[in-house]
Amino acid sequence: MSVKHAISRGLELGRSALQLGLLKSGGRFAAKLRADRLRVAPSSRAVQPQAFLPSRYRYYRTSLKGLAARLQSAGFGRRLGGGSPRNRAAFWAFGLGVGLIEQQLDDDRRSAATCDEIQAVFRKKKIQSSFKPCTSGYKLQDYIIGNQIGKGSNAAVYEAAAQLAPQKCSPPQLGEEEGETAPTLRTFPMAIKMMWNIGAGSSSEAIFKAMSQELVPAGPLALKREEEEITLDGYFGVLPKRVSAHPNVIRVSRAFTADVPLLPGAQEEYPDVLPARLNPAGLGNNRTLFLVMKNYPCTLRQYLKVSTPGHRQGSLMVLQLLEGVDHLCRQGVAHRDLKSDNVLLEFDSDGCPRLVITDFGCCLAQGDSDLRLPFNSTYVDKGGNASLMAPEVATAVPGRGVVIDYSKADAWAVGAISYEIFGQPNPFYRAVGLQSESFQEKQLPPLPSGVPADVQLVIRFLLRRNPSKRPSARVAANMLHLSLWGRKALVNQDSVGMRKLADWLLCQSAVVLLKGCGGPSGNKVEAELQRSFLSNLDLEDLRTAAGFLLYGRAQRQTCILSA
């Protein structure tokens, strides 16, 4: 019995010791092996472990199997040289335990290669712009402006239509619209946002420099070439970041400066920001920035006032916000003013809401920004919407060497907005009374019982005070993807579970590719979300998302059993 126990103990020690050194950072292995591709036939070259083995093992130049063989050989050598049976058995079993993880490393390589192949396929598919290519639309006179459809703290938004010959430029092609707003959208398919210019001066250079954050979602043809050069000169050769197209991020199709006109409702709605030539008491400058974009039926807040989405629709809406936030984070942009007023909404051909993040006036998007902002003075702007500031932002105190990390701040705001999506008051607005600076996680109100358990879990994780324990937008989005479409594939995190997950990813890719081939389903929200998920596949992020889900489910099961 003692020898049998020694073998069992040696197997356990051999596996756990090497897993501690080799597999604790399994995702990092995959990142280093990302250049590898899945091969149909076995490679003729031996796998070189020196790229991922700890330094003390790198002198074994064959593989983990070679290391295991040497340890086992040494164990048999000790048998001949003496020593107790228990020690010989333990040493031999330790070598056997090393060999057992070779297959797991192979599975990691294959899973990483599968993710890379799928990601490469779906990243080739570009997001189509709402506007067809044209050479006009850079003057206010090119548009017919209708009624005001929105107003914020620094701009007013008007419905608009192109006043151009159809041969030169056509308006954006919208999907099928339902409801009373459809006729208006067909007449005015565009929206023009007129910024209020109080202190930026009236030169184009000064305006572009002061309002450059509004250009973050601008397309490649949004500015005329000479105006693009102005923005470059204004920033001394450093161009502010621009994000690429994404279904859940607004796209600015045209941006230009022009004289401020007297638009409908201006004298009643915002007389103080008009220039003196339109209102003698006005404080505004003569010229300002205009942004042209697609016209959407309503904001998320307006929609939620009159409608309560179903639980699956609500889950898809939260997922869209996470996908949009992840897209911004990947390109080094933090929105910093995420709220239901700054999310626009339309409907796909199935009537499912499609959400679009807009209003980038408070975003962090400097050319050299890595989502970390030095906070050495009270004059540094922490962003807008104090109610939905993440705890690490709201509690930051200026000082020497202090830096605010915004990499998970927008994801926290999505967690708070999720309450509104599922028909509850936002817990961080005054009606409920929680403050992000001081709230405790146990004070968060419960979500409706009908909300899927995994979705409730994601929202709870997003609202964690400690950002190191909070999932990123990408990981949280992956959790919802796995919950919505991959529940059968998500069994556990061992090698068998990862193989099942890789097989599910391949099947999911085939289904999405077939659905997206020219059919009407290509315009549906669910298809867009699945394509976004597959184009951002990462083995480490996927494994982390599975770990969060499994941990949360285990905790939930423990609570049920204890109750």
Expressed as residue numbers, the domain containing 50 is 2-100
Quote the pTM value.
Answer: 0.78
Q: Confirm whether 340 is domain-assigned.
A: no
Q: Confirm whether 124 is domain-assigned.
A: no
In terms of domains, do 387 and 264 share one? no
CB neighbour burial string for 194-211, b if at least 16 within 10 angstroms, e if fewer: bbbbeebebebbbbbbbb
Model pLDDT, residue 73: 62
The three-class DSSP label of residue 537 is coil
Model pLDDT, residue 181: 47
Q: Confirm whether 441 is domain-assigned.
A: yes
Q: Confirm whether 469 is domain-assigned.
A: yes
Beta strands in 123-282 (DSSP E): 143-151, 155-162, 190-195, 252-259
Burial of 321 (0-12, 13-18, 19+ CB in 10 A): buried
In terms of domains, do 27 and 79 share one? yes
In terms of domains, do 70 and 203 share one? no
Nearest to 191 by CA among 157, 229, 228: 157
Model pLDDT, residue 230: 61
Amino acid at 14: G
Q: Kindly report the CA angle at 375 between 372 and 379, in degrees rounded to 5?
A: 130
372-374 vs 252-259, strand pairing mode: unpaired
Please say which residue of 251, 277, 295 terminates a domain: 295
Q: Are 291 and 192 in contact (CB under 8 A)?
A: yes
In terms of domains, do 472 and 358 share one? yes
Nearest to 334 by CA among 245, 213, 445: 213
Q: Confirm whether 424 is domain-assigned.
A: yes
Q: Confirm whether 306 is domain-assigned.
A: no
d(CA 333, CA 369) in angstroms, rounded, equals 8
CB neighbour burial string for 86-105, b if at least 16 within 10 angstroms, e if fewer: eebbbbbbbbbbbbebbebb
Q: How many domains does the chain have?
A: 3
Please say which residue of 295, 322, 343 terminates a domain: 295
In terms of domains, do 448 and 552 share one? yes
Burial of 224 (0-12, 13-18, 19+ CB in 10 A): middle
Which residues does the chain have with pLDDT short of 70? Answer: 1-107, 124-135, 164-184, 229-240, 367-369, 431-432, 488-498, 516-523, 560, 562-563
> Which residues make Cβ contacts (< 8 Å) with residue 563, sequence separation at least 6?
none
The three-class DSSP label of residue 343 is strand
Model pLDDT, residue 104: 64
Model pLDDT, residue 388: 93
In terms of domains, do 380 and 507 share one? yes
Burial of 78 (0-12, 13-18, 19+ CB in 10 A): middle
Q: What is the CATH number of the domain that holds 239?
A: 3.30.200.20
* Active site positions, annotated: 337
In terms of domains, do 158 and 40 share one? no
Residue 172: both structure tokens together: 């954006």
d(CA 363, CA 357) in angstroms, rounded, equals 12
Model pLDDT, residue 34: 43
Q: What is the DSSP letter of 523?
A: G
Q: Are 425 and 343 in contact (CB under 8 A)?
A: no
Model pLDDT, residue 16: 55
In terms of domains, do 85 and 145 share one? no
In terms of domains, do 465 and 385 share one? yes
In terms of domains, do 558 and 459 share one? yes
Q: What is the CATH number of the domain that holds 403?
A: 1.10.510
> Which residues make Cβ contacts (< 8 Å) with residue 239, sequence separation at least 6?
231, 232, 367
Residue with tokens 């039926």: 297
In terms of domains, do 77 and 152 share one? no
Q: Confirm whether 126 is domain-assigned.
A: no
d(CA 343, CA 230) in angstroms, rounded, equals 30
Nearest to 547 by CA among 487, 485, 470, 479: 479
Please say which residue of 271, 295, 319 terminates a domain: 295
DSSP H/E element including 69? helix 64-81
Q: Are 467 and 405 in contact (CB under 8 A)?
A: yes
In terms of domains, do 90 and 150 share one? no
Residue 386: both structure tokens together: 């104090």
Q: Confirm whether 119 is domain-assigned.
A: no
